[in-house]
Chains A and B, each alone.
Chain A
Amino acid sequence: MTASAEPVRAHRRARTGAIVQAALPFVLLLLLWQGLVAGLQVSPLVFPSLSAVVRAAGQGLRDGSLFLHLGASLARVAIGTAIALLLAVPLGMAMGVSRAVAAFFTPLLRFFSVLAGIAWIPIATLWFGYGFGAIVFVIFNAVFFVVAYNTLLGVATIPVELRRAAASLGARRWSMVREVLLPGALPNIVTGIRTGLGFAWRALIAAEMIATSTGLGYMLFLARDFYRTEVIVLGMVLVGCTWLALDRLLLAPLERRTIERWGVVRGA
């Protein structure tokens, strides 16, 4: 063993240890689950055994229904979010550029961002009928107002000195937006996206329960009609894992990186 190998190995050992430590609670939980259901002879109508859920997952994978539902949910989120972002960021920026306009739109956006999401399901189904349109609208609505409000807030709170500095360095309107306002507001925008998607994801599950015939929410609610608890639990695990993946692997790192990279602009 060379002298330099030892630290590397120790480092790797520490990392493996961390992974084991994170996985251990889940392993214990699964063991507890299987043990309790078998030991107490819980009826599958009340709570499924671990093996039943695994079988349901296998079945769903083989006949492709799992992909169908997961895909439908993700597609709705992606489309609704994309439309919302394309509109909310430019509008939020435009509103934030002038103090007068910002002061006018702040209370409106605040009101609607507070109301965003689930409460719009009834009217959305009325306007668009049951199905794709209503659900995408609800997601759009959940993301749009929260992101627009946060963008406005972000632009409005960029220190005046920064704008003045850029202006005296010769920045015109467009380069001001690109070089100062957008990077300055970016941490707020990303935070807004994360919050908005949090509302949107819940609204999606709720909307799918009542307004469609595909998606994770529908899968959960349909299984309830037949007391298929193993499908319900499978659906819950999927909902949790999908959101966790979305939030932890995509949104949280994005937020951290923009705040680390651009947070300096705030002068914090």
Chain B
Amino acid sequence: MERLAARWLWFVEHWPRAAVFAPFVPLLLSWWAVAEIEIFPPAFFPHPLEVLRRGVELAYKGVLGAYLEDSVLRLAVGAAAGIAVGLPLGLLVGLSDRAHRTLWPLLLFFQAIGDIAWLPILLVWFGFGLTTMTFVIVYTVMFPVLMNTALGVRAVPEVLPRAALSLGASRARVILEVVVPGALPNIVTGIRNGLGFGWRALVAAEIIVGTSGIGFMMFDARRAGSVTEVVIGLVVLGVLWSIVDSWILAPLERATGERWGLVAR
């Protein structure tokens, strides 16, 4: 046991990339074993081979690709809009004491209402469709971006804008060259959180009001009682989001924070 642990640690240190995937092997094997001996009926607990076969089939037919494209596109458009609205507003709220005092409690409240609670009234206003879904994602992404940006702006040490001003920078240049870069680690954190909540909101919206997308596929399959496609959806979502989060967002967050040495402080 001890030697096994030592070998595994050696592996983790020398092949860190592979070591991330290695733990999934026993997980998949136990899934296989549990499905093989049919502890649970196959209608509730699909066999991994069946999931793979059906997944390949759906991908081959183009259904999976089309649904995935729908979901990713909705998220990308909604997130871009959410960032475009949230970032400038966050700068405003962070820079102006008066705006911060009056708007912060309102922001907290509207963030607390949360994306999904908006669905019913959005359905009344816009019906089932793209507008409703886009609104939900924009709303979800906007708040974390806005609030983290404001926090970041307020966390920039007072001496930095002072230094820039006494070196002759105009207000606009101070914002551009000092406030935004100073707040950037927080802005990235806000984008990461916003996207994390955003894709969940997207899945919920697709489940509840959707006509396409991965969430719709899962719920449609659930209505038909087809557990295989539900699991395919779960796996696709998990893999997709893990890639986005651990290969793009988390490194970006670390890079901005560490390189500028703002995290240590």
Docked complex Cα distance between A217 and B203 (Å): 16
Complex Cα distance A99/B215, Å? 37
Contact (Cβ within 8 A) A122 B241? no
Assuming the contacts A100-B9, A104-B8, A127-B44, asked whether A120 and B108 have C-beta atoms less than 8 A apart, the reply is no
Docked pose: A123 CA to B221 CA in angstroms: 10
**B59-74 with Cβ < 8 A to chain A:** none
Asked if residues B124 and A21 are in contact (CB atoms below 8 Å), the reply is: no
Residue ranges of B at the interface with A (Cβ–Cβ < 8 Å):
5-6, 8-9, 12, 19-24, 27, 44, 101-103, 105-106, 108-110, 112-121, 123-125, 196-197, 200-201, 203-204, 207-208, 215, 218-219, 221-222, 225, 227, 230-231, 233-234, 237-238, 241-242, 245-246
- Asked whether A117 lies within 8 Å of B19 as measured between CB atoms, the reply is no
What residues of B have a CB within 8 angstroms of the CB of A126 in the complex? 44, 222, 225, 227, 230
* Contact yes or no, A46 B125, CB < 8 A: yes
Docked pose: A45 CA to B123 CA in angstroms:
12
Residues of chain A in range 23-49 having any CB-CB distance to chain B below 8 Å: 24-26, 29, 45-47
CB contacts under 8 Å to B, within A234-266, are: 235-237, 239-241, 243-244, 247-248
What residues of A have a CB within 8 angstroms of the CB of B113 in the complex?
A: 236-237, 239-240, 243
- Measured between C-beta atoms, what is the minimum distance from A251 to chain B in Å? 12
Question: What chain B residues lie within 8 Å of A241 (beta carbons)?
Answer: 109, 112
Q: Is residue A70 contacting chain B, with contact meaning CB distance below 8 A? A: no
State the Cβ distance, B246 to closest chain A Cβ, in Å.
Answer: 7
CA distance A121 to B113 in the complex (A): 20
A98, B238: Cα distance in complex, Å: 27
User: 7 smallest A-B Cβ distances: which pairs?
Assistant: A240-B113, A100-B5, A224-B120, A122-B222, A206-B204, A115-B238, A244-B112
Q: A104-B23, A239-B114 are known contacts. Are A122 and B230 too (CB-CB below 8 A)?
A: yes
Of chain A, the residue at the smallest CB distance from B220 is: A122
Contact residues, A104-126 vs B (CB, 8 A)? 104-105, 107-108, 110-112, 114-115, 117-123, 125-126
A209 touching B119 in the complex, CB below 8 Å, given contacts A100-B5, A103-B8, A103-B12: yes
What are 22 A-B pairs with beta-carbon distances under 8 A? A25-B103, A25-B105, A100-B6, A108-B24, A115-B234, A115-B237, A115-B241, A118-B204, A119-B234, A120-B234, A121-B219, A122-B233, A199-B200, A202-B116, A209-B208, A220-B117, A221-B119, A224-B123, A227-B124, A232-B124, A233-B121, A241-B112
Q: Is A10 an interface residue (CB 8 A)?
A: no
Closest-CB distance, B109 to chain A (whole angstroms):
6
Instruction: Tell me whether B114 and A118 are in contact (CB under 8 A).
Output: no
Q: What 0/1 pattern do residues 195 to 213 of A give for CB contact below 8 A with B?
A: 0001101110110011000
With beta carbons under 8 angstroms apart, the residue of B103, B106, B242 that contacts A111 is: B242
Which single member of B23, B109, B120 contacts A232 (CB below 8 Å)? Answer: B120
B105 touching A119 by the CB < 8 A rule?
no
Q: Which residues of A contact B115 (CB under 8 A)?
A: 202
A214 surroundings in chain B (CB, below 8 A): none
- Does A188 sit within 8 A of B, measured CB to CB? no
A206 with B109: in contact, given A115-B241, A119-B237, A122-B219 (CB under 8 Å)? no
Quick one: given A22-B105, A122-B230, A232-B124, are A240 and B218 in contact (CB under 8 Å)?
Answer: no
Contact of B200 among A119, A125, A217, A239 (CB under 8 A): A119
Known: A104-B8, A126-B227. A118 touches B203 (CB 8 A): yes
Contact yes or no, A29 B106, CB < 8 A = yes
Once the chains bind, are A229 and B246 in contact (CB under 8 Å)? no
Which residues of B are found within 8 Å of A115, using beta-carbon distances? 234, 237-238, 241-242
State in angstroms the CA–CA spacing of A103 and B12 once bound together: 7
Q: Chain B nearest CB: distance from A24 CB in Å?
A: 7
The distance from the CB of B82 to the nearest CB of chain A, in whole angstroms, is 16
A107-B23, A206-B208, A235-B117 known; A243 and B112 CB under 8 Å? Answer: yes
Q: Contact at A224–B106, with CB atoms within 8 Å?
A: no
**Contact residue among B23, B112, B116, B234 (Cβ-Cβ distance under 8 Å from A108):** B23
Is the CB of A223 closer than 8 A to any CB of chain B? yes
- Given A243-B114, A244-B108, check contact A119 B203 (CB 8 Å): yes
Q: Which of A100, A101, A223, A240 contacts B112 (CB 8 A)?
A: A240
Cβ contacts under 8 Å, B6 to chain A: 100
Cβ distance A243 to chain B, nearest Cβ, rounded Å: 4
